Structure 1
Amino acid sequence: MKQKTIILSALVSLLPTSMWADELPDSIYKSLELEQVVVTGTRTPKLLANTPVLTKLITADDIMKTDATNLRDVLQQVIPGIEFSYAMNQQVHMNFSGFGGQSMLILVDGERLAGETMDDVDFTRIGMDNVDHIEIVKGAASALYGSNAAGGVINIITKKKPNPCALNLNMRFGRHNEQRYGLSWQYARGKWNNLLTVNRNSSDNFNVHNGPNPITRVVSTIYGDAVWNFKEQLTFRLNEKLRLTGRAGYFYRQLVRTSEVPERYRDFSGGLRGTWTPDLVNSVDFSYAFDQYDKSDYQRITRLDIRDYSNVQNSLRLLYNHTFEGENVLSVGADYMHDYLFNTNLEGRIRKQDSFDAFAQYDWNISPKWEVVGALRYDYFSDGRISRLTPKVSARYQPVHNLNVRFSYGMGFRAPTLKEKYYNFDMSGIWIVEGNPSLKPEVSQNFNASVDYTKGRYNFTVSAYCNKIENKIATGAPYYKNPSDIIPRLPYLNLDNYTVSGGEATAQARWTNGLTARLSYAYTNERLPKDKNSNSVNNQYIPARKHSMTGHIDWDHQWLKNYGTNIGLDGRFLSAVDNEEFVDYYDISKGIKTIHYPAYALFKLSLVQRIGKGVKVSVILDNIFNYKPEYYYLNCPLTDGTNLMIGMSVDVDKLF
């Protein structure tokens, strides 16, 4: 632990060091990515430094340095306040500053993803090879994005910059037969631009060892998987005013818990998007998206692939922007989605729902120092005829060019899902999870404030938030419906009101000698709610840890014309957390006890060597201090020690 403390202290001390204290001119904005254009906070293009809605940016450079395979790898390495824990059968659950997967909306180029497991999307289907950057907006965003955006939005932006011809081949190998292969091919000619990515990654199952007398459920086998991911994007620019983009994707994942019946997950996606800018002050964005996510069990003996889940979404989207004199922007839009859900555990097995929304936003630049954005949205859901108006107001004050102060209020909104209303599932004999058609929408009031300051080579951001949640939708306290029942019922219901509050601080710097550093800290105060009768409820997910920290430092140097290196160190720390759980999930009469989940820290060291114009060789030592949990609880890192990974990336087009 002493070694970990020394490394964290070193990361902190690097940021204010005077050795490289020569200040740069304002061009540091560019080097710190503040001139990056972002769209998520207002659904209109804005410079990161000038957006009135605080937006966290994970750049292409950040993604490359993490050497991430999928979205989960990137988020947990870069963003504090986020933890991925595990539920039944090691299904992944995300807790982002007190909000789970049903309240953090994940988009790819602004489009929703079909399918969920334990309330979260399948993170393995979101690979990084075709990603340009990731934009994260924390706090209620329902006024622009509707249901499921009560806690914020994570928007993955794919690569769109034309490249005449680029071909990248990459691979990586690690412990437990971990293998990753990737191909990315981009070709542009005339009005056409094409991007194709193919990824294959796999790892084996492996066993882990727990200490004596665990106090709650533990994991003894870590399940690997095998994944194929194909993505195709074709763009046609008719002229300077009209651009059309078509996309298609196929995802396949197989996981083997029992050799006789492997589990399979598939996704088929496609879409067409157009952008029309008839003049300098008007623009229209329209799109159609299709996404189908399936789950099945493959019976090896009979060679039958039996599908037991399918979620199909067809959606249409229209957005119009008009810029007035003074750079004031009016945005008006509407969305429609048809949602089809087949699940053998649903009442009736098949459920359908149509949803419609319309929204308007006005971005008012009052003066060079003040900007205010107001938005209002109406949502309608056909199942239960649920409707809601959600407002949001954001303001940015810039007293000097390198200081921004932001405030916002927003209403969060989440309609109950078809699963939460009609589910009926025997969870391995523990209890029967039952839906509730009478569920009310979950509503939250969100308040945010932040300050960011840039000086020379340094950038500092501090933010605070408070969320007041009403009628949270979750499973409640188990009960016996009839005295003769052997298995209790676990109902979905609306819980009592509660609050999630916290804050975040980030310091980052980039010096001319090739050294870059970032340190981020997050505080989250999440008090798990009770039901309307003040009874403790079953929380299948672990609450947020109060304190978390991520840090990164790297040094880049070009030694020779054809040889350079990058040495990087990443670390993340999560504090301990307590959770109330049943003593025996198969006999709830034994009552509840408090389980203590210990704090932990993980560090990763990487060396990337650039050889010639297009070859990179990487050596990565993950978990360098060989941390192994004493007990593999559901929210501990599923690592069995240090993992040495070796990889290579070749830009074939640069070799000739």
Structure 2
Amino acid sequence: MRCCTFSHLTFAGLLLNLSFASLAATPIQATSQQLDSILVTGIRTERALADIPVRTEVVSAADIEKTHAKDLQEALSHVPGLQLRPIHGKTGYGVWLQGIDANRVLILVDGNPVSASTGSAVDTSQIAVTDIERIQIIKGAASAMYGTSAMGGVVNIITRQHSQPVTASITASGGSWGDQDLKSNALAQRHLKGQVALNNDAWSFNLMADVRDQDGWTATPNSISNEGFKGHKRNLASQVQYRFSPDFMFTLSPRIYQEDLTNRLSEFAPGIGNVKVNKKEQTTTLHLGARLEKGSENEFNWSINALTENFKGETAQDKPVTQWVDQQRDTDIDQQLVSLQMNYPLGNHHLSFGGQVSEETMDVVQYKRTGSTTERLVEVDNATASTQEVFLQDSWFIGEHLELLPGFRAHHDKDAGTHLSPMMNSLFFTTFDSGDRINLRLGVGNGYRVANLKERYFVFDHSQFGYKVMGNPDLEPESSISYQAGIEWLKASNNARLELSLFRNDITDLIESDQDLSESAIQNLQIFRYQNFEKARTQGAELVLHTPLGLGFSFDLGYTWMEATDRITGKDLPSRPEHLVKLGLDWQTPLEGLVLTAKAKYESQQFTDSENINKTPAFSVLDLKANYTLNPHWRIFSGINNATNTQKDFTQADNRPEEGRFIYLGMGWKY
């Protein structure tokens, strides 16, 4: 078990001292965005970011444009304390917060949940960021207000609401992995996105499209296999809104996602040697959301949300030397949800209450073919999870400087029964004559999560590639107590921000997939099985700093120190680094319109297994970005992702980046 040694405290203290010194020495300089102008919905009602009792980070539309993010994965990559980890068994990345993995982080678009493409973790690379106003990240257990999937936190994507009669934009870019490209093509990856919005007093219509296409890449050029997929990811979304009156409106939001990806793998065939295997992933997700809302912010108001979503996924392993598809798995997931929220201002209280009902159904069938013989295996047969939830929250303002935020959520699952998740958050603030502000936030909450359908029933058989992941229908629900404390200093003269936060999550019956070493030895395969770890804990400290430096420079720092342990064995939970550092430097150059950006990340070494036998090395990654605004309508941009060319060893478990150095160039137009 790791402990907080003197060296850890010294490192954190040095960073803290340097940060305060930077704030004190910062010259007066205007910034592009003030904290009191950033509106967020971290407590289910819209408030200024500086006034939110629950700790919330924001990625703005300007941040997304500055870093040229193509999807949610790239948009979140520089958020302090946030990890992006590959999803086991497929392409894509999930969000980890405070050492809690992607199965426990809720992803929302305009308050509606996004279905997990694998039945557990949402693939952030499937979510385009074409027309996003901001992304809100809530860290820590938020089950009381957001439900069973939010033990680790919430990522809420807010789409842009256009007020102009006509707006439009289009952006194109392309790039290369250099000598790792599968084809000799200067544009091994292509990206095209566009948006058009029409708006009048009664109607608004917004259409967004995004296409990402690539030829693939390989880190092992002398091998049969390649690591980077060949194929495309496509998003098409629209939003139609009709306003019966200024405070009564109906919004319809259909979305389509489609991907067709191929990776080339190798498999050993007795008497032949290694042969090529094409691994194919085809996905189609159809989503329809509807929202009816009435009332204004300062009076009683209500909203009803409804969604239906269907996910169809097909994965296949095809040996070109045979005349048939050797193995194919078809996954079908349906989700329906209806929720109601009412907000009622009452003196110095602001009550929010409501409920939600949801149902999810999963079917998984695998086909194994040998010559004229086809074996059909039903891995999940119409498994269903249905829940009913109610919640209540009270923003209670006590005097001019203190807000208490008590709340609870009652959750009923047809298999796991009923559970009550309470929470309490508070915000105390004071403002000085200079305009500087100090915020003190304290919070405690009960997180709760029922095992999802994949964890209970899935049998992910990739025996031909050396592993199998097994579900477990006897899993117990997991529960946590999350403690959050933070102090924040907001400097009025230049919008500098310094925050020091402490967190601790005590988890009971944590559900994780882990390698069954004895069964692996018997079957001569890597056998992973979902199981309850009796007790686990993640705890640590996080330092966040944003400050202008003068001469057009501004600096960002995010440092997280974390312990993540199995409290029974005392061993570290895998894939959680003790130290995570994220740095950013922006320079508004003397050449008008030219902005240069550098983003760096460091992760300390970490174990890759629960037995703490294997470690992945510490590593650093550097991204470089350039933006040049030619006029109000046109801009050009370029960048180098992973300029340090840091890359994992694909022959073993390794948490270093998969993709090597990627260089790209692009152009954008907007009206």
| TM-score normalized by the length of structure 2 | 0.84
- Within the alignment, does 1:188 sit opposite 2:226 as a pair? no
Name the aligned partner's letter for residue 456 of structure 2: K
Give the distance between the partners of 2:211 and 2:605, measured in 1 at CA.
36
Give the distance between the partners of 1:360 and 1:120, measured in 2 at CA.
27
Q: Please, which of 593, 600, 607 is the counterpart of residue 564 of structure 1?
A: 593
- Within the alignment, does 1:337 sit opposite 2:390 as a pair? no
Give the distance between the partners of 1:51 and 1:504, measured in 2 at CA.
18
Name the aligned partner's letter for residue 154 of structure 2: V
Name the aligned partner's letter for residue 330 of structure 2: D
Q: Please, which of 251, 255, 273 is the counterpart of residue 257 of structure 2?
A: 251
For the residue of structure 2 that corresponds to 1:221, the secondary structure is: coil
* Aligned ranges 1:219-618 → 2 under 5 Å: 221-258=227-264, 262-277=280-295, 280-297=298-315, 308-326=330-348, 328-344=349-365, 347=379, 349-382=381-414, 384-400=415-431, 402-428=437-463, 430=466, 433-455=469-491, 456-457=493-494, 458-475=496-513, 478=516, 490-510=528-548, 514-528=552-566, 542-556=574-588, 559=591, 564-580=593-609, 594-618=613-637
Give the distance between the partners of 1:647 and 1:482, measured in 2 at CA.
48
Q: CA shift at 1:20, angstroms?
A: 7.7
Name the aligned partner's letter for residue 359 of structure 1: F
- Within the alignment, does 1:128 sit opposite 2:129 as a pair? yes
Residue pair 2:302, 2:343 contacting (<8 A) in 1 also:
yes
Q: For the structure 1 residues 69 and 460, does the alpha-carbon distance in structure 2 shift closer, same or farther, using more than 3 Å as the test?
A: same
For the residue of structure 1 that corresponds to 2:77, the secondary structure is: helix
Residue pair 1:526, 1:543 contacting (<8 A) in 2 also:
no
Q: CA shift at 1:491, angstroms?
A: 4.0
Name the aligned partner's letter for residue 484 of structure 2: N
Give the distance between the partners of 1:463 and 1:484, measured in 2 at CA.
46
- Of 108-117 and 263-272, deviating more is 108-117
Aligned residues: 613
Give the distance between the partners of 1:319 and 1:57, measured in 2 at CA.
23
Residue pair 1:433, 1:489 contacting (<8 A) in 2 also:
yes
Residue pair 1:15, 1:507 contacting (<8 A) in 2 also:
no
For the residue of structure 2 that corresponds to 1:640, the secondary structure is: coil
Give the distance between the partners of 2:251 and 2:478, measured in 1 at CA.
35
Q: For the structure 1 residues 352 and 180, does the alpha-carbon distance in structure 2 shift closer, same or farther, using more than 3 Å as the test?
A: same
Residue pair 2:119, 2:452 contacting (<8 A) in 1 also:
no
* Aligned ranges 1:161-180 → 2 under 5 Å: 161-175=162-176, 176=181, 177-180=188-191
Name the aligned partner's letter for residue 426 of structure 1: D
Q: CA shift at 1:482, angstroms?
A: 14
- Structure 2's unaligned 5+ residue stretches are 1-13, 182-187, 265-276, 367-377
Identify the structure with the greater strand proportion: 2
Give the distance between the partners of 1:434 and 1:578, measured in 2 at CA.
22
Give the distance between the partners of 1:70 and 1:336, measured in 2 at CA.
29
Give the distance between the partners of 1:279 and 1:92, measured in 2 at CA.
36
Name the aligned partner's letter for residue 329 of structure 1: H
Q: For the structure 1 residues 21 and 353, does the alpha-carbon distance in structure 2 shift closer, same or farther, using more than 3 Å as the test?
A: closer
Residue pair 1:528, 1:543 contacting (<8 A) in 2 also:
no
Name the aligned partner's letter for residue 272 of structure 1: A
For the residue of structure 1 that corresponds to 2:516, the secondary structure is: coil
For the residue of structure 2 that corresponds to 1:349, the secondary structure is: strand
Give the distance between the partners of 1:307 and 1:187, measured in 2 at CA.
42
Q: CA shift at 1:254, angstroms?
A: 1.1
For the residue of structure 2 that corresponds to 1:315, the secondary structure is: strand
- Within the alignment, does 1:647 sit opposite 2:649 as a pair? no
Residue pair 1:115, 1:311 contacting (<8 A) in 2 also:
no
Q: For the structure 1 residues 599 and 303, does the alpha-carbon distance in structure 2 shift closer, same or farther, using more than 3 Å as the test?
A: closer
Give the distance between the partners of 1:428 and 1:503, measured in 2 at CA.
41
Give the distance between the partners of 1:173 and 1:287, measured in 2 at CA.
38
Q: CA shift at 1:424, angstroms?
A: 3.1
Give the distance between the partners of 1:386 and 1:195, measured in 2 at CA.
42
For the residue of structure 2 that corresponds to 1:124, the secondary structure is: helix
Q: CA shift at 1:78, angstroms?
A: 3.1
- Within the alignment, does 1:635 sit opposite 2:655 as a pair? yes
Residue pair 2:304, 2:339 contacting (<8 A) in 1 also:
yes
Give CA-to-partner distance per residue, 1:597-642, whole Å, 9 cap, x none.
111111122221111221101121223344455667541112333x
Give CA-to-partner distance per residue, 1:422-460, whole Å, 9 cap, x none.
223434165654433332110000111001101232210
Q: For the structure 1 residues 631 and 249, does the alpha-carbon distance in structure 2 shift closer, same or farther, using more than 3 Å as the test?
A: closer
Aligned match of 1:215:
none
Q: CA shift at 1:550, angstroms?
A: 1.2
- Within the alignment, does 1:33 sit opposite 2:52 as a pair? no
Q: For the structure 1 residues 352 and 629, does the alpha-carbon distance in structure 2 shift closer, same or farther, using more than 3 Å as the test?
A: closer
Give CA-to-partner distance per residue, 1:200-240, whole Å, 9 cap, x none.
1112222214999xxxxx99633244111101011222212
Give the distance between the partners of 1:448 and 1:348, measured in 2 at CA.
38
Q: For the structure 1 residues 449 and 17, does the alpha-carbon distance in structure 2 shift closer, same or farther, using more than 3 Å as the test?
A: closer
Residue pair 2:212, 2:234 contacting (<8 A) in 1 also:
yes
- Within the alignment, does 1:62 sit opposite 2:78 as a pair? no
Residue pair 1:15, 1:517 contacting (<8 A) in 2 also:
no
Q: For the structure 1 residues 491 and 647, does the alpha-carbon distance in structure 2 shift closer, same or farther, using more than 3 Å as the test?
A: closer
- Structure 1's unaligned 5+ residue stretches are 1-8, 213-217, 582-591
Q: For the structure 1 residues 18 and 491, does the alpha-carbon distance in structure 2 shift closer, same or farther, using more than 3 Å as the test?
A: closer
Aligned match of 1:144:
145
Q: CA shift at 1:194, angstroms?
A: 1.4
Aligned match of 2:9:
none
Residue pair 1:370, 1:395 contacting (<8 A) in 2 also:
yes
RMSD: 3.4
For the residue of structure 2 that corresponds to 1:62, the secondary structure is: helix
Residue pair 1:255, 1:262 contacting (<8 A) in 2 also:
yes
Name the aligned partner's letter for residue 307 of structure 2: A
Q: For the structure 1 residues 89 and 528, does the alpha-carbon distance in structure 2 shift closer, same or farther, using more than 3 Å as the test?
A: farther
Q: For the structure 1 residues 254 and 220, does the alpha-carbon distance in structure 2 shift closer, same or farther, using more than 3 Å as the test?
A: closer
For the residue of structure 2 that corresponds to 1:73, the secondary structure is: helix
Residue pair 1:210, 1:631 contacting (<8 A) in 2 also:
no
Name the aligned partner's letter for residue 372 of structure 1: L
% identical aligned pairs: 20
Q: CA shift at 1:417, angstroms?
A: 1.0
Residue pair 2:520, 2:527 contacting (<8 A) in 1 also:
no
For the residue of structure 2 that corresponds to 1:149, the secondary structure is: coil
- Of 407-416 and 546-555, deviating more is 546-555
Give the distance between the partners of 2:278 and 2:27, measured in 1 at CA.
64
Name the aligned partner's letter for residue 276 of structure 1: K
For the residue of structure 1 that corresponds to 2:627, the secondary structure is: strand
